[in-house]
Every structure is written in C-alpha cells, then in structure tokens.
Chain A
C-alpha cells in the first residue's frame, strides 16, 4: 500500500483534520469500512478522526472501537438531510456524553420525521436537541447553496438562523471541482464577516483516490440511473482521506497561506473538543439492564430454591453444589437482574401460548433450568455451565430462545408491552453486497440490458463479490459460460470492489434489546419494515454498548409441530403435550433408523440421512451425538469414522490417554462436544473449567491456538504426562478447534428432532400438514408431498369448499385414515385477505356464487380454477370454467352503471338477473394430465395430481434407469442410471477440501442422493446447477443397512434426452449421452484453516442457477406437447 505525502506528525499544522467522513455505513455513498479509515488516519499521524455517516449512526460503534484499537480519539457525528426544496445537508458533531445523547435522539427523531429510509431534520428539530451538538454548515447546507448561488445576503441570514438554533461552524470543503475554490473563499469570507468559526473538511467518502469509481457507481445506484457525469456527486476523485499536508495545500490554494493555518488550527480545536470517551460518554464500560427492583440477587436466590422444589431436586447434593457455583459467578459478575429479566421474558412468551424452548449453551445452566427458562436438566445430561457462564467470559451471557416462527412477532409484541417501547428495540443487521447483488447494481450502472444482467448474476453461485473473477476461473459451471471473455471485465472488476459494502439495513432475525428508559440515549432507533422500533446497531455493536440482547429465534419446526398438535386435537380431540411425550418410544427410533426422515428437524439432509443410517440411533443421547457429529469440527478432525467403527464394534474404542476415558467414554474416544474440550483441558492441565473455557475460545484463531498450545504442553508435561500423549491430545484439540457444537446446544436440538420424528411416526397426516404449512426444511414442498404419498397419506386436491389457509389433515372417509388437503395459501399470488374471505363465505354452490360472495381478484379466481379448486363444485372441465370467470367479470363490471340509490335487479338466490354470457361446455379440449400437472406446478409449486417424472416413464424404462426404491437391492460398486426432479444441491465443507456437490433427485419412489467429486464437475456441474430434471450415471455406494448413495460420473438434462428420444428413439438418446466431455481440472484453491485442515472456498454456499424451492416455468421442464403420458 502506498500513498503520497506520507505519514508523520506535522506540528504547526495541527494533526486532526478530518471532521467530515462517511464510511461504508453511509449506504450507497461511502466506500471505506470504519476500521480501514481509523487505521489510515493513525498511520497518517492523525490523533483524532470523526465519523459522520449519512442518515444514521450505523457505523458509530465500530468507529469508536476501531479508533481505540488504532490509538486515536474518536469523534462521532451524522450527516443529515434538512427539510428543504432541494437536497440540503448539515453535519452535526457530538460533544461529550450530552452530545452523544442529543445525537442519538436527533437521529431517532429524523427517522421518525421522514419517510422510512429517508430521514429528515428541520432547524427546529436540531434546536430541540442542540445540547452538546455542533452544527457544521458546508457547501451542501442552505448557507453553502446560497453562497454557490452568489447570494451572500441570503447566506448571512440563514447563518444567523442557524446560530440562533445551535452552536454553528462553517465548514470549508474544496474537492477541486469547477467553482469549488472560489466558493471556499467566499464561504470563508462569510464566516469571517459573521464572526463564526470556520473549519476545514474534506467530506471524505473513500480511502484512496483510486477508489473513486466505486463511489461513482454508488452515486448512480442510489439514484437508480446509469453512469453519466451529470448524475455524479463525485466528479473529481478528491473525496479521499487526505494527509495533513494535502489538506493544507487545499486550504492554501483556496484561501491563502495564512488562512490555511488558521483553518487547520480551528479544525484541530473542534476535533479535540469532540473526542468521545467510550466509557464515560458512550456508556460502553457498563451494562444497561432493565430496572429489576431492589436486591435482585436475593430474589434470584429465592426463585432458584423454589425451582429446586418444583423440579424435584431439593434433596440433591449435586444440584445444591452446582447451584452454589453458578450463583457465585452470577453474584461476582452482578448478573442477577439479567437472569430475572430473561426468566420474565420466557415466562411471558409461554403465557401467550407460544411454544418456547432454550437453545445453545444456556441449556447447560442449572439456574436457567430452575427459573423455567430451559426444560433440559443439565445434570441429567451432564452439561457444564462454564461454556455458558464463567468468570473467564466477558460481557453478558447469551441466552437464545426458540419460538414458533409464525408467532415470533407476537412474542416480540409481548416483550415490547412488558418492558415498554422506550426501553425496548429490535437489533438491526446490515445486508451487504455479495456477488449477485454487486453484479446487478454495477450492471445497471454501466447500462447493460436487464435480461443480460439477470442471466449473468444467476450464473454465479452465492459467493462473495470479491470472489467473482476467481470463481470465473475456478468453477466448471462458470468456465463453460463464456462470461470471462473480457467484454465484461469492467463489470467484474468494479463489482468485486463492492464486496462487503452494506447496502440495506434490515431487522436482525432474532435479537431484541431489553433495557431501561435510558435506551434511547444510547442508541438511535428507526422503524423496521414490520413496524417495530429498531436500533441502528447490530449484534456486535449492542454487545459493545453493554445492552442486553435476547435472541428470540423463530423456528419453523416449532410452528410446524404446533400446527400438527393442533390438527390432532381438531381431528381426534386428543391433546398432546410434546414436552411430556416419553422420550424413549421404540417405534420412533425404528423410524429414524430407516433414514426415512424427510421433514424431521435436523436429520433430513442427504448427509444426515446417511449418518443416521450408519449410526442407527437408539435413544436421545444417540440423537445428541448424531447432531454434534455432523459439524465441521468432528468432520475436520476425522472423528466420524473412528466413532462409527467403535460403535459398530468393529474397533475397540481408543483413548488418547487412560485419564481421558471418563471424559470421552460417551463418544467412544473421540471429541464431539465443546464440553469435552473443556474437560480434556482440565484433566490434562488442572486449570479448572473456567480457564479451560477461555482456552477453548482461543482455539479458533491461529494466534490463540499457538498460545494455548504452548501453555497446554507446558502444563500437561509438568503434571507428568508423557510427551507422546500430550502431542496426541493436542493434535486432537487443535483439529477440533472451536468448530464443534456444545453439547447443551445439541441436546436442545435433539429434543425437537425426536418430537418431530415422533409426530411423523404416530400422527403422520397431521405432521405433514404442519411441515407443509410452515415449510421448515431444506427441500421443496413437492418432496414432502411425495414423501407423504410413500407413507400412505392421501393427497387431497385444492377445493374452495374444503381447503383452508394452511394445510390440514382430513379423513378421506368417515373414520378412515387421514389425508392432507392442499392449502389455499399455496395458490400463487393469493393474498391473506383473499384467503380469509374465501374461508369465511363458504360453502359455495357454484363458481358464480363464489365470484359474487368471496370477491377475490380475477387472476386468483382463475388460478383457483386451473389448479382444480372448483373440480368438486362443477362437473365442467377447467378450461370451460376459466372462460366463465371472464364472463362473470364482464357482468360484474357493469353494475357500475347502475344509478346511485338504485338497487341492481337480482333474482331470488342473489344471481344478478343480468344474464351472464352463455358459455357452452365441452367446446374447449379438456386439459391433458400433463397440462394439469403443469398448471399445478405453476400455481401451487408442486405436482399434486401425479408426479412429474411419470411423464418420462417410457424413456426411463428404455434407458434402463433404476428407481430409488430399487437401489438398495443393487450391489455396491455396480453402475446404474438414475433420474428425477432435482430437489436439493449442497456443497458442504468436506475433509478433503474438495468442492463436492451433493445433489438429491426425487423420482416418485423416493430420494436419490448423488455425489459429484471435482473430477467429474467439468462435465456435470453446469447441468446439475442449471437443469431441473436430471439423468445421472454413477456407482452405487452403500451407507448403512438400507441407505444408498450414488457416486456420479455423468449427468444430463432429462428434457434434452427426451427430445432426442422422441426424434430418434433410444439410440439417439444413448448417442447424446455418449458425447465427449471437457477435461477435468481442480475446482479452485484450498483454504487451509488454522486447524490445519483444508476447505474449498466454495463450500456451503448457495448454488448457481435459479432457486429450486419452486419449479421453473412450465415450458422449461416440459417443452413438448406430444409427451403427455398415457
């Protein structure tokens, strides 16, 4: 990195010149991250740096922390839009604690005054919060505009008005655009004449001159226009963080040498005055909990002893000792009111009848259990508290609550009610530029056609923007796209530079701040899209600010299970309390062991189905192990195979040292849980669990690992362990790193896993109704639907008289087995209001009746007709009914002509006597089965009446394709052809560091799991990601008793083969499959983790091509009319 006019202090000039700086948290305006700005300022010898982002304080906390790291003073302000006819802006800087409070409140007020996302202040608002604020009036202010317009009289009047409002300073900015220099001189003259201090600013937007193209792209992106000089704010490339000599030269050229010195000195004085102290001024040195009343600790102790009695742990010495330990930490850290608050919050959510479970390390705390926050007994499951609560952990402990996703906002409302709107806010998060969004915005800026932009963006997987050009070379699906031809070089180069820039503020999916009425003095608040007040700080910021964030996580599976339980109650009157269901039901574990676990929590992915096939869980502890094994930690450190072998009895469990046997016995000698890392460290070093937890947290970065490694070796050797054992254990710990799961978390996940499997086994139809309504899983709903068919649950079609908002279970005949009824909400484009109207006004005797009373839009009615919603009402083909919708609309459009005060004529049953055009039935051809399925896929997103693949049965039989149901009978290693609808692709991190593509096809008899290694991706990747219907060739691999997967070495677009087959028969199809393929190349470099294990840079990212949760438009999968089946 080089920059002109280098670092160093410049005594005499003053060293603090940047009082007007936008970081990338000025959305679509600033370019540089706060940390980069602070580092650069420090290396330029500056002692302070301001951050004055546009429209908010989104970057303020990061700025303060970065400045502290860089050893310079932080000044914070905001660049705010002022209500006016044009675009006028002022900068306000905060001085001291009062200033910070005023700034937070002014920014909050600005957001409340403007429309959402367009905050606005008036001079009166600034006046109302003027205490501790300094207003900078630069070229963009009304004063600056008047000067530019050569109206010094107007400028002077406006300046007077500001001076009557708040402390005011004139800011001189000169970016060397035409007219900037003379304007600077005239602004200075105005200030001198009025006796107002003048300071020098540079309205910084980026670090270096060469960053200006990024700022220019942001200028036009913000305005939604293509790149052109007249749309640019930055026309000179001078809005960078200039050094002090550069700034001095700017001032000298514009205002003369003497004035330049005076400006720099004034700037320095202002800047030093406004440096904020993170502790004293921002309150970062303390926690700001809700007021919990007098002596919270005594009340906590009392509630814990009540809890001991309620949980039946009164006599337990173990419980008493553990409680004593936990309360000791809580007392030392002053966290009693924190626990009381969280316990209130959980109780409050449950009191609204919302399912609520604890997740994460908090489940390891006995206090949480006794207060009723968590349901798992940590002593019974052998969970440690230190992972959650230890003297060595800084800040507030993290308690996460899982609630039903569909009722998450209801839970929020309860919390806002209870703790007060002034003391509560949601946490925000920044959505940042990634490859696809950057390509879209830069593509628009440089004026590419929208269709081309869309195609380019979708060709990329969901990688970081900074990986764009590397991916073009690395990924086979992109290599063959021809995008890297050079024509688009500018697009790619600039798009890469948007990498990671914030582009949109959003509500964090789960964080809620619970505090006291001083909250609005500590954080600016704006309204989130769903209406809740939202802090401008993200989860890291609020932690730094000492604010209590409770994570209330919406879990779709909790909603799905609540729906299933309600369906059981509705159908049978049986009230199920899932928490009370015995956790040892053999039938449930028998189902899990078959790997037929689609729809179940945590264990439905291809990798998990394979793992449970091999692990064969028998009880809840096994599920806890299973969930924890399927993580990068155990996978990286090669724990899975030794564990499975030891479990299968083909190998003796081996322990790295006999002393570790008690710690590792539950996992047969391998490390699976964070808790085991703690205990291993404790056993070998005698450091205690609290210190061990601190050591564990250091394992996830290289530096920490080196320090902990040296410490561990020394301590363990000193305790008499031999060198070989110490090395062996350390290798294990280092490989596991900080990646694994804590057992408390796995245990709190295992419970819903078991509960969902129990529902699937015992209340199958209700289970599917829940899963289809709340869509918790990774597969498209059509896969769940097909799974339901395999479990013998009939699929009942859409019916305007029977379908409800969500899916429901419905007996097919009186007392017979239950089927599931397609939900109205599945209909594309239907609104919640329409669903309600349809359900309220039924039953309907006819389409006309429906049209009149349900009053839904024509497109929705047409979709209902096409998807078969009226098949049970009319014995008329759907196409004829569709024509009637048009006729009905033409008639109902007429009453508009009826004179006011006159009733339209109607006959007895309400049918308007105006005659609807007669549409004779049977003139239009009935829909073919293929057209019916096409309509279902288009409107409902799933094939309800029959499976899509059945239309290709002829071809598949001709090619000898093996069906999923028959695969277990095939010998391992034999070559097979398989086919189906693509339902999932994943590229998880695997031990080899390859990018392996796992794809799942659904062929109407079950899922087929395919594995594509890098060696075949040059010929397969583009097809796998680009096509919806696939044929694949590969070898059978056995995974457990019944589970089978395919190691694929070829794959083809089923429709393309079908086309060949129709043209030239089976031989033509085979010839198409024999076409030569490009040579193989590895897929990119490996990223080597600090733990020493390799990873592909493309693991665990969203795939290239369109999303697969909904099928593509019909013509893409089914182009030919002649192919409709029998």
Chain B
C-alpha cells in the first residue's frame, strides 16, 4: 500500500547519495537505492522564476529501515533550496 506524505526530513548524504534520514523522530538507515531520477522545474509556468531557472528536483526511491522491518521510501531533494521531503512510503 502506498501512502503519500510531504513531510520535511533531515537527510545525511554521502558521495551524493542519501544514507540516513530522520522522519517523525525516528532514524532510518538506507539499505539500498532502488531508483534515482531527476526532473527540471517547469520554469515556463512559474510567475516569478528566479534569475536562472535551474534548480532540479532529485528523487531517491530507497529501501530503508528504522529497525528490522524494511520499507520502501521516496525522498525528494530540492536542489536549489537544498531541502528534503519524504514524498511516499510503501509498506
């Protein structure tokens, strides 16, 4: 079952990849990266795009675990703002 969230999370990154994150007070360790992809922003739809309309969004679908139970989590990284969200969870 998929659940959709938009919760901000704190993420530790090593060699460009997320390795741990904290969600709702619990620490999750990334076991495996299942998928990683990037999209650019729809800069042409934005009312006031900033100077250079770059700033992509990076998605990481990972297997992670707070304890023994493994779940699949999707993390979204806003490159321009350097902020992370937990966007979806499969369990």
Contacts and interface: CB of A to CB of B under 8 A. Distances in A.
Interface of A: 175-182, 209-210, 212-213, 216, 227, 229, 234-238, 249, 253, 445-446, 490
A256 B35 CA distance: 14
B63 interface: no
B54 A236 contact: no
B44 A446 contact: yes
Given A178-B35, A249-B16, A236 B52 contact: no
Nearest to A445: B44
A235 B58 CA distance: 12
Between B37, B43, B44, the greatest number of chain A beta carbons within 10 A of the residue's beta carbon is seen for B44
Contacts of A209: 54, 56
A683 B52 CA distance: 57
Given A445-B44, A490-B44, A236 B39 contact: yes
Interface in B26-60: 33, 35-40, 42-44, 49, 52-54, 56, 58
Contacts of B49: 490
A249 B17 CA distance: 11
A180 B16 contact: no
A445 B42 CA distance: 13
Contact of A182 (B15, B35, B58): B35
Q: Which 3 A-B pairs have the closest CB atoms?
A: A176-B38, A236-B38, A178-B37
Interface string B50-91: 001110101000000000000000000000000000000000
Nearest to B49: A490
A176 to B, nearest CB: 4
Nearest to A215: B40
A210 B54 contact: yes
Contacts of B43: 213, 490
Nearest to A182: B35
Contacts of B58: 176
A256 to B, nearest CB: 12
Given A209-B54, A237-B54, A216 B36 contact: no
A176 B16 contact: no
25 contacts: A176-B37, A176-B38, A177-B37, A178-B35, A178-B37, A182-B35, A209-B54, A209-B56, A210-B54, A212-B40, A213-B44, A213-B53, A229-B39, A234-B40, A235-B39, A236-B38, A237-B38, A237-B40, A237-B54, A249-B15, A249-B16, A253-B17, A253-B33, A445-B44, A490-B44
A181 B38 CA distance: 11
B38 A253 contact: no
A210 B56 CA distance: 10
Given A209-B56, A446-B44, 11 more contacts: A209-B54, A210-B54, A213-B54, A229-B39, A236-B40, A237-B40, A238-B38, A249-B16, A490-B43, A490-B44, A490-B49
A236 B56 contact: yes
Contacts of B53: 213, 490
A179 B61 CA distance: 12
A857 to B, nearest CB: 43
Contacts of A176: 36-38, 58
A212 B54 contact: yes
A253 B38 CA distance: 14
Contacts of A253: 17, 33, 36
B40 A181 contact: no
Nearest to B54: A210
A212 B49 CA distance: 14
Contacts of B17: 253
A216 B54 CA distance: 12
B60 to A, nearest CB: 11
A213 B45 CA distance: 12
Nearest to B15: A249
A237 B39 CA distance: 7
B44 A181 contact: no
Contacts of B33: 253
Contacts of A180: 37
Contacts of B44: 213, 227, 445-446, 490
A237 B37 contact: no
Contacts of A237: 38, 40, 54, 56
Contact of B52 (A210, A216, A227, A235): A210
A142 B78 CA distance: 35
Nearest to A237: B40
Given A210-B52, A237-B54, A490-B49, A216 B40 contact: yes
A213 B46 CA distance: 13
A446 B44 CA distance: 6
A756 to B, nearest CB: 53
Between A175, A179, A216, the greatest number of chain B beta carbons within 10 A of the residue's beta carbon is seen for A216
A213 B52 CA distance: 9
A181 B54 contact: no
B19 to A, nearest CB: 14
A177 B38 contact: yes
A235 B54 contact: no
B44 to A, nearest CB: 5
B42 to A, nearest CB: 7
A207 to B, nearest CB: 13
A181 B36 contact: yes
A11 B61 CA distance: 33
Nearest to A178: B37
Nearest to B53: A213
Nearest to B58: A176
Contacts of A249: 15-16
Nearest to A486: B48
Contact of B42 (A179, A229, A238): A229
A249 B36 CA distance: 13
A259 to B, nearest CB: 16
A202 to B, nearest CB: 14
A619 B62 CA distance: 88
A243 B38 CA distance: 18
Contacts of B35: 178, 181-182
A271 B25 CA distance: 51
Contacts of A236: 37-40, 56
Between A175, A234, A237, the greatest number of chain B beta carbons within 10 A of the residue's beta carbon is seen for A237
A175 B39 CA distance: 10
A448 to B, nearest CB: 11
Nearest to A252: B15
A725 to B, nearest CB: 55
Between B15, B17, B33, B54, the greatest number of chain A beta carbons within 10 A of the residue's beta carbon is seen for B54
Nearest to A209: B54
Nearest to A491: B44
Nearest to A253: B36
A236 B57 CA distance: 9
Nearest to B39: A235
Contacts of A445: 44
A238 B38 CA distance: 9
B17 to A, nearest CB: 8
Contacts of B40: 212-213, 216, 234-237
A235 B39 CA distance: 6
Nearest to A229: B42
B1 to A, nearest CB: 22
B46 to A, nearest CB: 8
Interface in B1-20: 15-17
Contacts of A235: 39-40
Contacts of A229: 39, 42
A182 B35 CA distance: 8
A238 B36 CA distance: 13
Contacts of B39: 177, 229, 235-236
Nearest to A254: B36
B27 to A, nearest CB: 24
A234 B43 CA distance: 13
A185 to B, nearest CB: 11
Contacts of A182: 35
